[in-house]
Structure 1
């Protein structure tokens, strides 16, 4: 049984478009109609400048040049580690995947080279370090292939012990260092493009509205601002001018598809809904100051990753790889993204002035 009278009281405040709560959100949206709205999905950023101006969209992840190629090398460590885990659980069931990985690694090594990274992939943020990247890729493929060949030929070689001693922490350059370098490079490239794109707008950051919408990588990842690489990009571009309380993580918010051929009509059609969503959150948040002025306000802060002393602090850098693997809120690829953003901001968004841990000053020797 329910009480119609008490249910009606509930619905007077919240329960539909014709309620006090909905009218509060609508009033807030109208008041903020001129403010810039930034909406980020797992792949793209949309900027709605306000006052009815059309949106623009910047793709920063899967559509980016070189992203999949670089990430394929980044994932060598987790791929080999996964084979070890499969062997521990299922015995020789790992062998078909091991043979396929070996074949793919050997093909990738043949395709790799300076011309590939400089002339074909041609990522602006990597200009001037293409040879170092090619050398790192060649070394990583060679070391991975050697480890896999031995694992396939020696019955008991594939193990957690050999994985760390001979591969991830092996000499002359640990594969762990390569993973740091490749994750850093991917984060640096995406951050460089996002910073440059947002800088061109000269935004009113103190009044900006930001939504990080939908799924960010694995289903449990990026659900807080300090575990989201996309939030890190936006905060970096703001250079401290965006109040953190104006950035909302909205994993259940509607998302737009990546525009095809520059057509942003479907993105523009979502502006009112997305502004209303942000405004409904903000309007409720601001009730706190109205209702409880004598009590301390909520201040969002805190980080989840360890500080890095320098680009050569591999105890902290590799330690992050473990922490983000074990923390379901985070993505392995974002383990050093915040460090890349910090370095770009400190160096005027010039990738050429950034030290890439695991690459800058590191010699990846040619392997047989």
Structure 2
């Protein structure tokens, strides 16, 4: 009888602990809070970001049309200025595209990034294209042509110092150059419009999918955040050119915005967008949800929500501190500020994957080969 009482007590204890565990889990994924978070993501962050990018694209298209009609120095300067505005607008929207393995919402079928921000661009093919042959607009949908379009191609066509850009847009090859730029802009506008309209159609179903399962909207947002930060920012914008994934072999010409020399400005803007996404002072944020889990950092013992905020702000500070010199020169000179910034990225990547996503009991849905 005594043994039976002991077993009964042990069973009750197990059940109580199980219930407590379930209650804790429920606190972490409160459905109403999750729905508020997802609503905020779509209505305050995602749709406005892509809408704004579309607005800047339209302005660039208008500015270029004016320039193509009257190819003056002043009109070219206006095109260049609007190009930078458009590129910065993309840095604020790119996160919500996700990474190659973590596309979110309509990006699953539109693949917008492939038409907007594949770099480095293929200079040789573009030079041949605008100098020797015509190209049908339908070809811009082919994967083989992703490297001759998007912002990187415009960066080359508007800023290439190896040619007289103004003369090229007013000389014998004018029509081919104008045609190429026009086709690039049209494709980006078309694809971005698809994303905006797609989000408006998918809005309700995305917000209502509050499940914490792998295919739940919140888990998809977490994965998009993680992979975009790791692959599209840390690796593509910095680690790749620095040779961090090629046994130290540097590729200074693989930087973003090679010809306009605006790599730092775009990297700072992209990372600031990440920071704003995480902290998002206007409404319920990822930081708020992470704080509610009460999970503490393995690094400092502080709340993980605060530790991640500190680390993201530290990265931002290091990026701002990078010299204003163009990245190509800095990579060639092995400027220590780039390596310092990269190292700070590595810490955040590891924290997101090994602490933040597990804190929400989320699942990493993408595979990388970087060893982080």
Normalized against structure 2, the TM-score is what?
0.28
Q: Which structure shows the bigger proportion of residues in helix conformation?
A: 2
Q: Which structure shows the bigger proportion of residues in strand conformation?
A: 1
The structure showing larger relative contact order (alpha-carbon pairs under 8 Å, at least 6 residues apart) is 1
